[in-house]
Amino acid sequence: MSKVHNFSAGPGILPADVLKQASDACVNFENLNLSLLEISHRSKNYENVMDEARSIIKELFEVGDNYEVIYLGGGASLQFAMVPYNLLSENGTAAYLNTGVWSTKAIKEAKIIGNTKVIASSEDKNFNYIPKGYEIPTDADYFHITSNNTIFGTQMKSFPKTSIPLVCDMSSDIFSRKVNANDFSLIYAGAQKNMGPAGSTMVMVKKDALGKTGRKMLSMLDYQVHIKGGSMYNTPPVFPIYVTLLTLKWLKQNGGIAWIEKINQQKADCLYNEIDRNSLFVGTTAIEDRSHMNACFLTTKPELEVEFDKMWNDANISGIRGHRDVGGYRASLYNALPLESVNVLVDVMKAFENKFA
């Protein structure tokens, strides 16, 4: 079977070794002669999975016991509501940076919970840059940012220093580069873009950030309830959490975040260098804010898109059509995507220029 070069923006590519281990577990999990899909989530075997899935997050982020890790369903979209529900006090204010579709949706949910202020936005230029030079209010309950924007292809290269709790949606670039996780009060991520399959969401939160809202909490929306229940207050998304654990173990065993950050830099440099060199392509975002996870670009001759589409399809490339809000193309360079696949795409881009420029 011919290799497919998978640039899907999400659900994204997973390591081949992880897919093999996960498929084996679907048939016979840990030699129980039972499928992972049919054992109790309260069994000792699965409790061990959950414990390790939580602990490896803290290990990779290099944080201490002042943080808790939970896995939930509902995707990052549920976290858009849970974050303000758990952190925004009844008489307080939440501050947000608006850098794209997902932060816009997060802001919408926060406004339902309480007073919400957008302190800066790049909407004026269709989110093709990251705002800079803004002031963070010192009296807000928290400041929310999105580290990487899958649709528009921008990424925060550094994070603001603030005296108030910093909250970050890292759904699409979590564990792709070194960050000082201790600077954040809460980090959340839908697993399906860079950490595992669709179906689970990881939340890592400082203990001292919770229990300050002054509201009576609904159990299913209360982080403290899920922490006390060990991510199993209700039946968790068993299989997605297991595959997330396998993916994080793959990352750790191969050299960790320092190892993958170097490879991700090589992939991004390879593709962006070709976008800038090639007369038939142009990037869509401010150069200093280009995402290392989602490279967005257009053809300079839109009438030739059908020809380029045929060429990359013939090369067994998948998932590079751009989002409708940007158009053109988007190549997602998540951790599991090998440099080889980027080289194949670059070769197609060069061949396209040689044929049509």
Residues labelled catalytic: 102, 169, 193
Cβ-contact 257, 178 below 8 angstroms: yes
CA separation for the pair 214, 261 (Å, rounded): 41
CA separation for the pair 49, 327 (Å, rounded): 41
Closest CA to 107 of 143, 139, 133: 143
Q: Amino acid identity, residue 207? A: K
∠ CA(290), CA(146), CA(96), 5° rounding?
125
User: In the numeric block, which tokens belong to residue 36?
Assistant: 């992972």
Phi-psi region of 130 (alpha: psi -120 to 50; beta: other; left: phi over 0): beta
Closest CA to 116 of 104, 125, 124, 126: 104
Q: What are phi and psi of 26, to 5 degrees?
A: -70, -20
Closest CA to 244 of 19, 62, 34: 19
CA separation for the pair 187, 174 (Å, rounded): 9
Query: What b-and-e string marks burial along 82-100, b requiring 16 or more CB atoms within 10 Å of the CB?
Result: bbbbbbbbeebbbbbbbbb
DSSP structural state of residue 123: G
CA separation for the pair 350, 347 (Å, rounded): 5
- Widest Cα–Cα separation across the chain: 65
* Helix 339-356 / helix 305-314 crossing angle, nearest 10 deg: 140
DSSP structural state of residue 176: S
CA separation for the pair 132, 213 (Å, rounded): 30
Closest CA to 109 of 153, 160, 167: 167
